[in-house]
Structure 1
Amino acid sequence: MVYYSSRLIHTLVTRGHSGNTYELPEVYFIGILNFALDNIDNDRYYYDVVLCDREKGEQFYDKLGFKLLCLPNFRKEEVEIKSFMDMWLYLFKHMSKLNEIPKFLDKRVFGLIFDIGEVSNLNSEDMKAYELSLKDKRDAESIRLTAERIGMEKGIKKGMEKGIEKGREEERAKAEAEKRISALKMLKSGFDSKVIADIIGLSIEEIEKL
């Protein structure tokens, strides 16, 4: 337990400068045991182990823990099952003997485990058919997602083109308006229409309309 937990902690430490502070993540080892951990205390089925200060009897470090479930020591019958912990322990201990979900287990919570169990017990021919059906499902989902992505890319491209064209139209309209303002100022200053047309780039008819 210590060996594998230590290796996991080591791999989770951030590399580079950001890892210099050694801000370690929380790591909990959960062991489901098919043997009794202590032959003397054979009624105890749940162990919650942490690093502890021996003298003070207090928890020394709160980001590392070992949760151990000893299935042989769990002897509760169905009528005694009350908590979710009891439900999980009962399920782990009796899974190989159960053909269906016991009534006291919530199907919304425990149904998936039985689905997984059914798949793992398929014969080779049924397993092949199951894997092919999964492949077909994944292929169909991949095609759908690809179509959505292509459609989105086309929509973005079309929208960008429309936006660019709209921007160009607005720029042209702004430039034309500025030409007319400049032409009007020149007219008020006494410039001839032909001279203004040559300088500004508007036709004489457009200038006379001003």
Structure 2
Amino acid sequence: METITDKWIYFIKHAGELDFIPTTFVEPHLREAFDIANTASLTEEELDVQFKRRDFIYLQRGALEKARHDGIEYGEKHANILTAQKMLDDAFPLDVIHKYTGLTHEQIEELREKS
């Protein structure tokens, strides 16, 4: 099964009897066709369970992506605070610290007061 035609012929002959999608079937349209064939024989209850499972997976992926984004954002902010603190220790001007860290003048002043 090397050509797309061979793969479609294989699909048409075996779609109803396969337990998994062959790894060589990477084309999106073929994978969609297998998904449709796999759901065609399900009862309404089985379809409902499958859709709920799929929704749960999408929600989990979204939550993981948000956590990853928030973690990166937190790490960048923390790094900027540490950089600003070192620049304050070395007596850099406020405008220079703001330019290189993106912290507001108020945030930099708070750091200065804490140290």
- Whether TM-score is above 0.5 comes out as yes
Per the normalisation by structure 2, the TM-score is 0.57
SS of the equivalent of 2:17 reads coil
Give the percent of matched residue pairs that are identical in Structure 1 and Structure 2. 16
Select the residue among 81, 84, 101 that pairs with 1:161.
Answer: 81
1:86 CA drift (Å): 4.1
Q: In proportion to residue count, which structure has more helix?
A: 2
Q: Does 1:135 align with 2:55?
A: yes
Aligned residues between the structures? 85
Aligned 1:34-183 pairs, distance under 5 A = 84-91=3-10, 94-95=12-13, 98-101=15-18, 107-110=22-25, 112=31, 113-171=33-91
> Structure 2: 5+ residue runs without aligned partners?
93-115
Q: Deviations 1:44-69 (Å, cap 9, x if unpaired)?
A: xxxxxxxxxxxxxxxxxxxxxxxxxx
Structure 2 distance, partners of 1:119, 1:152, is: 39
Q: Deviations 1:85-114 (Å, cap 9, x if unpaired)?
A: 44135246x35x75325xxxx911248343
1:145 CA drift (Å): 1.4
Per the normalisation by structure 1, the TM-score is 0.34
CA 1:109–1:165: 2 relative to 1, 3 Å: same
User: What one-letter code is carried by the residue in structure 2 that aligns with 1:133?
Assistant: R
Contact map agreement 2:16 2:37 (CA 8 A) in 1: no
Determine which structure has more spread, i.e. the larger CA radius of gyration.
Answer: 1
RCO greater where, 1 or 2, for CA within 8 Å and sep 6 or more?
2
CA 1:134–1:89: 2 relative to 1, 3 Å: closer
